[in-house]
């Protein structure tokens, strides 16, 4: 049994083929799996919030540990199976190869994004009912409010840039996971890029559908307009980063006309 990682060229071919499958999955299955992904990412975001409460390890180390905690979300998406909008920006490779239509691509993105939002908001409701903000003598709630305010204050252009950088790393995490053959391979592949984007302060649109509504649910004042701005511009940045910096670059390298799936010239 071969236990070596798939090569980059083989990953490109696999991502393209899976992209076709994702684009043609029935709407109900796609939506249900997207709801799960929204919930998974939200659980990672909640764990990040707890870890960032009352830090005692210094700025850098605390951010590193928080990023590792947040990677729970994408680990669950990749290993347990779910549909995450940011990772599904890689479906654009199948579109670039002409194997799916633009309409099929947009259908996938819209259904998955909607499901992710439902999953994130549902998790917000459950977490509010559970009173998780009361942990640490309500310090977790104060941390959640601080995170929400910080995100709502991000200017539009900066939000786009932070979204681009975030989804470049998220899509690279998914890309690396495609290269693994075992569960351990996939977990390790996901952990490093996700830890990096969180530690560096980049912005993930689906995670923000948890962070911002959670802060609003805890009573944060004046957050709605800033939250909507963040969600819009971070989403735009995520699409640009995942589609062009990862899917587009690897499509040019391995799947463009004149190149075989193994990366050798035709």
User: How many distinct structural domains can be found in the chain?
Assistant: 1
Please report whether residue 103 resides in a domain.
yes
**Nearest CA-CA partner of 34 in 92, 104, 85:** 85
Please report whether residue 1 resides in a domain.
no
Q: What's the confidence (pLDDT) of residue 263?
A: 43
Q: What's the confidence (pLDDT) of residue 65?
A: 96
Residue 35 bridge partners (DSSP)? none
Q: What's the confidence (pLDDT) of residue 264?
A: 43
Please report whether residue 246 resides in a domain.
yes
Q: What's the confidence (pLDDT) of residue 11?
A: 96
CATH number of the domain at 145, please. Answer: 1.20.1080.10
The residue count of the chain comes to 266
Please report whether residue 3 resides in a domain.
no
Q: What's the confidence (pLDDT) of residue 261?
A: 47
Please report whether residue 15 resides in a domain.
yes
Please report whether residue 54 resides in a domain.
yes
d(CA 206, CA 253): 29
User: What residues make up the domain containing 246?
Assistant: 8-254
Please report whether residue 266 resides in a domain.
no
Instruction: Flag residues of the chain having pLDDT under 70.
Output: 1, 260-266
Please report whether residue 259 resides in a domain.
no
């Amino acid at each position: 049994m071969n236990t070596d990682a798939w090569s980059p060229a083989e990953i490109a071919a696999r991502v393209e083929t899976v992209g076709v499958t994702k684009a043609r999955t029935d709407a109900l299955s796609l939506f249900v799996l997207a709801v799960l992904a929204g919930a998974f990412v939200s659980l990672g975001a909640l764990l990040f919030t707890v870890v960032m409460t009352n830090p005692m390890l210094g700025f850098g180390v605390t951010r590193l540990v928080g990023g590792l905690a947040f990677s729970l979300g994408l680990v669950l998406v990749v290993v347990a199976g779910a549909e995450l909008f940011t990772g599904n920006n890689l479906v654009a490779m199948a579109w670039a190869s002409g194997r799916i239509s633009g309409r099929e691509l947009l259908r996938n993105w819209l259904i998955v994004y909607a499901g992710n939002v439902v999953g994130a908001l549902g998790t917000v409701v459950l977490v509010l009912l559970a009173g998780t903000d009361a942990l640490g003598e309500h310090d977790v709630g104060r941390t959640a409010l601080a995170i929400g305010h910080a995100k709502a204050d991000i200017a539009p252009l900066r939000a786009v840039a932070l979204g681009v950088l975030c989804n470049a790393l998220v899509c690279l995490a998914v890309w690396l996971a495609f290269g693994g053959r075992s569960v351990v391979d996939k977990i390790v592949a996901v952990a490093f890029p996700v830890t990096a984007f969180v530690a560096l302060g980049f912005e993930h649109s689906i995670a923000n559908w948890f962070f911002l509504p959670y802060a609003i649910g805890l009573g944060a004042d004046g957050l709605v307009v800033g939250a909507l701005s963040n969600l819009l511009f971070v989403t735009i940045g995520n699409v640009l980063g995942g589609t062009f910096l990862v899917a587009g670059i690897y499509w040019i390298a391995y799947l463009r006309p004149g190149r075989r799936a193994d990366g050798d010239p035709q």
